[in-house]
Amino acid sequence: MRVQTRFFAFYRDLLGSTELTVDLPDGATVGDLVSSLRGRGRPFDGLPVAPAVAVNRTYRGLEAHLTDGDEVAFIPPVAGG
């Protein structure tokens, strides 16, 4: 399956990109996606081991299963207001 990742603020600055399409084995979780990205080495290993993540605009834990076509956003600590 294939998911669409998005990076904001500090993470975007870190990676130098706002979006990335990632191929994953069926049944992969958010945690698998994070490991896969971090496994690419620099600068991806600058992402936290357990970042906040939103799947299709809802905050989800690392154990959440992904589905083909999901939008997975990496959410740095938020600072609205």
Partner 1 sequence: MLIEITHDPIDPDAVRRSVGGSHDGAVLLFLGTVRNHNDGRTVDGMEYEAYEEMASEVLRAIAEEAATALGTDRVAVVHRIGSLAVGEVSVAIAVSSPHRAQAYDASRYAIEEIKKRLPVWKREHYTDGERSWVRGQTPRPVEEKANMSEPPSDGRPGSAGAERGKGGMA
Shortest approach of partner 1 to residue 68 CB, angstroms?
20
Residue 24 is inside which H or E element, if any? none
Q: Is 41 an interacting residue with respect to partner 1 (CB under 8 A)?
A: no
Strand, helix or coil at 45? helix
Q: Is 14 one of the binding residues for partner 1 (CB under 8 A)?
A: no
Closest CA to 76 of 20, 19, 9, 21: 9
Is residue 31 a contact residue for partner 1 (CB under 8 A)? Answer: no
Q: Which residues bind partner 1 (CB under 8 A)?
A: 6, 8-10, 13, 52, 54, 57-61, 64, 73, 75-81
